[in-house]
Amino acid sequence: MTDQVFGKVSKVVCVGAGYVGGPTCAMIAHKCPHVTVTVVDMNKDKIAEWNSDKLPIYEPGLDEIVFAARGRNLFFSSDIPKAIAEADLIFISVNTPTKMYGRGKGMAPDLKYVESVSRTIAQYAVGPKIVVEKSTVPVKAAESIGCILREAQKNNANLKFQVLSNPEFLAEGTAMKDLANPDRVLIGGESSTEGLQAVAELVRIYENWVPRERIITTNTWSSELSKLVANAFLAQRISSINSISAVCEATGAEISEVAHAVGFDTRIGNKFLKASVGFGGSCFQKDVLSLVYLCESLNLPQVAEYWQGVINVNNWQRRRFADKIIAELFNTVTDKKIAIFGFAFKKNTGDTRESSAIHVMKHLMEEHAKLSVYDPKVQKSQMINDLAAVTSADDVTRLVTVETDPYAAARGAHAIVVLTEWDEFVDLDYNKIHDNMQHPAAIFDGRLILDQKALREIGFRTFAIGTAPDQAYNLFGTAGY
Ligand SMILES: NC(=O)c1ccc[n+]([C@@H]2O[C@H](COP(=O)([O-])OP(=O)(O)OC[C@H]3O[C@@H](n4cnc5c(N)ncnc54)[C@H](O)[C@@H]3O)[C@@H](O)[C@H]2O)c1
Ligand SMILES: O=c1ccn([C@@H]2O[C@H](COP(=O)(O)OP(=O)(O)O[C@H]3O[C@H](CO)[C@@H](O)[C@H](O)[C@H]3O)[C@@H](O)[C@H]2O)c(=O)[nH]1
């Protein structure tokens, strides 16, 4: 019988206290009271926020779980060496953004943070460690981590490492629900005896709340690739329905009716078929580009081109929507006040990474529109920084104001543009809003959340993704665009 190299896990550490590390570890601490969970980060301010009354991220249900477990079996710390030395199992949950320099610029994920954590683990580890890749990485990234760790093993016989892949599938806005009740947990590892032991230890953690049949174990490379493929398939569905939204606008078919009819086929399914102003968020674009880059590197240009199409349609959809706004506002938005409802990349999050709002607003700013933005969860400084990064600080100062209520944002505006599907936008008093706008007043619904008929009865001109521009015909005798 082979010795057990990795003992029962009682101390878990997560490097990276972000959107994944924080919620995931809060859930592990909540579900495994016998395990001590420490989340570390090189960003001391962020750790201070995790230890304060106002957590650094907004996620429904997160506060309750953190406040109950913090100080009991959940800790946030910036003492990375100590945490690593004490851990039985270490999650690497650092960011892997698209590289913005050098080889693979704009395509490949930047793995410098993952490598840096691997070196820190190699430096401070004092005994056997299961190292778990939770960050989203390209296939074979575990090999690089393993190579760095094996080097440390050469100089210290007490060290033993196994690298597992355990990608995260939570979606922001529903992270706590997704973590509490995941469709599946995926764990990839080596088929060696030690590899199987390490996999079994991680399975044992998840088994505290996830039914065993939903915990899938595979080889390391299948696990790494499955994460990229899952995001690519999800993003592809959105680009598919968005491409059809343009056909609807040109024909009189309704995108929500088409999505409903098509999604009723159980083979297709009804989820992720909501036409929109384009997908945003920190993952879809980055991970599809990572897959494209991987395929190019593997000399598979046809596969790369196929997935690149998903990104191209998304960029086109954002541009198309902005062009539609300009066209329907009589081909000029110069100096016109336009209210922007929503800046986050989806509802129930304050995250703005790759939000379509940034891109649509950029296009409108290029036409010198005056934008007045309201979002219930995004800080003003975040909006200013995001927009300045794609335009200029001067343009933002000149063209953008940020309001703390939607009525103020819409007052005196020529149009309202809905870019995030916040529930509160559905229940606003649109009679009151209409009264205080310039006339004719228009609403562009990039999220298909508003009742177009009710708005038209109030007097709005309405334009929704995937809906034929019949008003444009009726009012102005043009086909819109
Ligand atoms: N955000 C999501 O919804 C989501 C979901 C699934 C998977 N992922 C993947 O998970 C990973 C993390 O994503 P995120 O959104 O949590 O990122 P994030 O930017 O919110 O958090 C990453 C954290 O890692 C810290 N960090 C970076 N290098 C470090 C180092 N060397 N030592 C200590 N701390 C370090 C950063 O300071 C930051 O706080 C990414 O690979 C992402 O693709 C994200
Ligand atoms: O039918 C839909 C569904 C989503 N979206 C948009 O797509 C983007 C992404 O949404 P969502 O997938 O819900 O949020 P993320 O937090 O980006 O989660 C995705 O990316 C994560 C990071 O990898 C994965 O873990 C999740 O499984 C995956 O859903 C957002 O802009 C949504 O508005 C649509 O336009 N139409």
The encoded tokens of residue 441 equal 């007043």
Predicted confidence band at 470 (pLDDT cuts at 50, 70, 90)? low
At 225 the pLDDT is 98
At 477 the pLDDT is 38
- What is 329-396 written as a DSSP string? TTT--TT-EEEEE--SSSTT----TT-HHHHHHHHHHHTT-EEEEE-SSS-HHHHHHHHHHHS-HHHH
Q: Is the pLDDT of residue 394 over 80?
A: yes
Tens of pLDDT along 55-111? 999 999 999 999 999 999 999 999 999 999 999 999 999 999 999 999 999 999 999
Predicted confidence band at 155 (pLDDT cuts at 50, 70, 90)? confident
| Closest C-alpha residue for ligand 1 atom 17 | 95
- Catalytic center residues: 283
Nearest listed ligand to the Cα of residue 169:
2
In this structure, are residues 303 and 381 in contact, taking their beta carbons and an 8 Å threshold? Answer: no
Any atom of ligand 1 within 6 Å of the Cβ of 25? no
Residues with CB under 6 A from ligand 2: 136, 168-172, 231, 234, 238, 272-274, 276, 279-281, 283-284, 345-346
Which atom, in ligand 2's list, is nearest to the CA of 235? 7
Tens of pLDDT along 282-299? 999 999 999 999 999 999
Which atom, in ligand 1's list, is nearest to the CA of 22? 16
ipTM rounded to 2 decimals? 0.99
Cα 50 to ligand 1 centre (Å): 15
At 211 the pLDDT is 98
The encoded tokens of residue 38 equal 């420490």
| Closest C-alpha residue for ligand 2 atom 11 | 171
Which atom, in ligand 2's list, is nearest to the CA of 230? 27
Of the candidates 63, 10, 280, 92, the one whose C-alpha atom is nearest the C-alpha of residue 176 is 63
Cα 271 to ligand 2 centre (Å): 11
Q: Is the pLDDT of residue 2 over 90?
A: no
| Closest C-alpha residue for ligand 2 atom 22 | 283
Going along the chain from its start, the domains and CATH numbers come out as 11-210 (3.40.50.720), 255-480 (3.40.50.720)
Would the annotation count 219 as a binding residue?
A: no
